[in-house]
């Protein structure tokens, strides 16, 4: 992408309304624009990161056997009356009336709708296990939308729903999502700790919140320090095999949020020098809730014995749009964002120090074409802004690598390659630069 033809509205001023660093940096880097309280437009740079996060989520959901689909944002109130949640959900639900005076709502979650889909098509235990998911915008009329995309009113969520014949099989489905979550967050450069959690309006009795430690997090959490250097399940994890050992390993150390913490148990089970009492960001939550929806909504399957049983269900959310904020909270410095490579909007920022110059132009054009051809995404700054402004913008938007093409270095055929994270700089030939960035 040539910066001269891109849309990257960088702000010089630090927006006053932004209280935390990720919100400030997302606004300054031209990633989002607030349209009304807690509702954002995703500008091109922000949208690219959002898509990268979605793609990681999709890959890891597929690995764990979940099947992607798409349900609408608007739902009929009648479905929610069947489960009894229409009245229970309260003011967080945005209620809408259509022209025929029918009660609708903007979905805050999809348990009812997926249960309706399931009961319409699935009749036999032979079709189980089944796990269906989508990535769709949700609306929750939060009392205090704040911190940018961290607590929006409209936000993007991945929500998966599992269906099994028995509780034991449902726990196996739960474990598949649990393990896939560990991998998903790790690929984004995050350490998310699964913590015992309250189940809230979703209901049920087995649940974990996946929490990223951060000072600006909204919940207080209590956990064992050894979580921080636990090895994440690898790409060779067999999701058809028994995942119990992994789940046991990741749940054997104490970890709980303030809602459910038992301080005596925390202190008894974690040695003092291993105790972490900190704040954290909830980036996802998993629930097993048995027949809470299948029972009232009549989602049953035939068993091998010829009887009919309500299915055991679970649901599994990931805060896709919240993750941008969480990643930035975890990875930035005074100059701006530092993107982990897997979610970076572009891999490399190429700075032409003197556009129009006989030396820099052809080298930049050649490098740009060759990098793009090898699948490396380049943001090519071909504008005539000052060197200082170009460097500051590149640091702010946080691409993992910067390549600077200036007349001085190029006299000796050399480019400067800077690692955004470490700040290390190397002078390399064009070929060596390409090799370095592979």
Specify the residue, 171 or 190, whose C-beta has the smaller distance to ligand ATP. 190
Nearest approach, Cβ of 148 to Mg ion (angstroms)?
16
Stretch that binds ligand ATP, among 129-137, 178-186, 299-307, 319-327 (CB under 6 A): 319-327
Nearest approach, Cβ of 51 to ligand ATP (angstroms)?
17
User: Residues, the chain, total?
Assistant: 438
Backbone torsion region of residue 128, taken as left when φ is above 0, otherwise alpha when ψ lies between -120 and 50, otherwise beta: beta
CA angle 79, 298, 313 (to 5 degrees): 85
Specify the residue, 109 or 291, whose C-beta has the smaller distance to ligand ATP. 109
Q: Which does 142 bind (CB under 5 to 8 A by kind): Mg ion, ligand ATP, none?
A: ligand ATP
Phi and psi for 64 in degrees, rounded to 5?
Answer: -90, 5
Stretch that binds ligand ATP, among 42-50, 150-158, 370-378, 416-424 (CB under 6 A): 150-158
Task: With CB under 6 A as the rule, give the number of residues binding ligand ATP.
Answer: 16
Give the residue among 25, 21, 321, 18 at the shortest CA–CA distance from 150: 321
Which residues contact Mg ion by CB under 5 A? 282, 285
Q: Is 151 in the site for ligand ATP (CB under 6 A)?
A: yes
> Rounded CA gap, 338 and 360, in Å?
27
Among 157, 301, 379, 437, binds ligand ATP (CB under 6 A): 157
Q: Which residues pair with 59 in a beta bridge?
A: none
Nearest approach, Cβ of 181 to ligand ATP (angstroms)?
10
Given a contact cutoff of 8 angstroms between Cβ atoms, the answer to whether 361 and 355 are in contact is yes
Nearest approach, Cβ of 290 to Mg ion (angstroms)?
18
Specify the residue, 75 or 321, whose C-beta has the smaller distance to ligand ATP. 321
Interacting positions 275-314 with ligand ATP (CB under 6 A): 282-285
Q: Which residues contact 15 (CB under 8 A, 6 or more apart)?
A: 24, 27, 28
CB neighbour burial string for 344-380, b if at least 16 within 10 angstroms, e if fewer: bbbbbbbbbbbbebebbeebbeebbeebeeeebebbb
> Nearest-CB residue to Mg ion?
285
Give the residue among 283, 313, 45 at the shortest CA–CA distance from 184: 283
Q: Which residues contact 47 (CB under 8 A, 6 or more apart)?
A: none
Phi and psi for 222 in degrees, rounded to 5?
Answer: -130, 120
Given a contact cutoff of 8 angstroms between Cβ atoms, the answer to whether 406 and 354 are in contact is yes
Phi and psi for 138 in degrees, rounded to 5?
Answer: -120, 160
Given a contact cutoff of 8 angstroms between Cβ atoms, the answer to whether 284 and 215 are in contact is no
Nearest approach, Cβ of 434 to ligand ATP (angstroms)?
38
- Residue 161 to residues 92, 298, 399: CA-CA distances in angstroms? 22, 16, 35
Given a contact cutoff of 8 angstroms between Cβ atoms, the answer to whether 103 and 124 are in contact is no
Specify the residue, 115 or 285, whose C-beta has the smaller distance to ligand ATP. 285
Among 52, 140, 186, 418, binds ligand ATP (CB under 6 A): 140
Give the residue among 104, 92, 108 at the shortest CA–CA distance from 145: 92
Specify the residue, 82 or 142, whose C-beta has the smaller distance to ligand ATP. 142
Nearest approach, Cβ of 224 to ligand ATP (angstroms)?
21
Binding mask 190-229 for ligand ATP (x = CB under 6 A): ----------x-----------------------------
Stretch that binds ligand ATP, among 173-181, 223-231, 318-326, 331-339 (CB under 6 A): 318-326
Specify the residue, 324 or 378, whose C-beta has the smaller distance to Mg ion. 324
> Rounded CA gap, 378 and 400, in Å?
11
Among 30, 280, 317, 409, binds ligand ATP (CB under 6 A): 317
Specify the residue, 181 or 380, whose C-beta has the smaller distance to ligand ATP. 181
Nearest approach, Cβ of 156 to ligand ATP (angstroms)?
8
Nearest approach, Cβ of 209 to Mg ion (angstroms)?
6
Nearest approach, Cβ of 149 to ligand ATP (angstroms)?
6
Specify the residue, 116 or 282, whose C-beta has the smaller distance to Mg ion. 282
Q: Which does 362 bind (CB under 5 to 8 A by kind): ligand ATP, Mg ion, none?
A: none
Positions in the binding site for ligand ATP (CB under 6 A): 109, 140, 142, 151-152, 155, 157, 200, 282-285, 317, 319, 321-322
């Amino acid at each position: 992408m040539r910066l001269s033809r891109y849309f990257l509205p960088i702000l010089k001023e630090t927006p006053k309304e932004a209280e935390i660093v990720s919100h400030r940096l997302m606004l300054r880097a031209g990633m989002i624009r607030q349209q009304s309280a807690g509702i954002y437009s995703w500008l091109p740079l922000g949208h690219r990161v959002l898509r990268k996060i979605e793609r990681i989520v999709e890959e890891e959901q597929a690995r764990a056997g979940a099947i992607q689909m798409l349900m609408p944002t608007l739902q009929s109130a009648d479905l929610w009356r069947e489960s009894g949640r229409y009245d229970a959900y309260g003011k967080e639900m945005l209620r809408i009336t259509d022209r025929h005076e029918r009660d609708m709502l903007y979905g805050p979650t999809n348990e009812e709708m997926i249960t309706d889909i399931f009961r319409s098509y699935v009749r036999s235990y032979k079709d189980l296990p089944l796990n269906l998911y989508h990535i769709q915008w949700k609306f929750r009329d939060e009392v205090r939308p704040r911190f940018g995309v961290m607590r929006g009113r409209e936000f993007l969520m991945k929500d998966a729903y599992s269906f099994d014949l028995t509780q034991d099989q449902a726990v196996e489905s739960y474990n598949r999502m649990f393990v896939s979550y560990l991998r998903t967050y790790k690929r984004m450069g995050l350490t998310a700790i699964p913590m015992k959690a309250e189940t809230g309006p979703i209901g049920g009795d087995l649940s974990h919140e996946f929490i990223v430690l951060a000072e600006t997090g909204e919940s207080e959490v209590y956990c064992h320090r050894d979580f921080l250097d636990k090895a994440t399940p690898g790409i060779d994890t067999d999701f058809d095999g028994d995942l119990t050992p992994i789940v046991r390993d990741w749940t054997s150390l104490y970890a709980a949020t303030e809602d459910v913490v038992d301080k005596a148990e925390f202190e008894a089970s974690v040695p003092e020098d291993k105790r972490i009492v900190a704040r954290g960001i909830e980036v996802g939550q998993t629930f097993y809730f048995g027949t809470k929806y299948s029972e009232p909504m009549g989602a049953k399957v035939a068993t091998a014995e010829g009887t009919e049983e309500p299915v055991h269900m679970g649901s599994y959310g990931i805060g896709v749009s919240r993750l941008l904020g969480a990643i930035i909270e975890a990875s930035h410095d005074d100059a701006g964002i530092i993107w982990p490579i897997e979610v970076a909007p572009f891999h490399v920022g190429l700075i032409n120090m003197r556009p129009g110059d006989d030396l820099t132009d052809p080298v930049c054009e050649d490098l740009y074409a060759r990098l793009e051809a090898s699948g490396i995404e380049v943001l090519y700054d071909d504008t005539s802004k000052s060197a200082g402004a170009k460097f500051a913008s590149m640091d702010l938007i946080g691409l993992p690598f910067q390549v600077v093409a200036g007349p001085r270095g190029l006299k000796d055929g050399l480019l400067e390659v800077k690692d955004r994270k470490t700040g290390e700089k190397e002078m390399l030939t064009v070929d060596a630069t390409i090799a370095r960035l592979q």
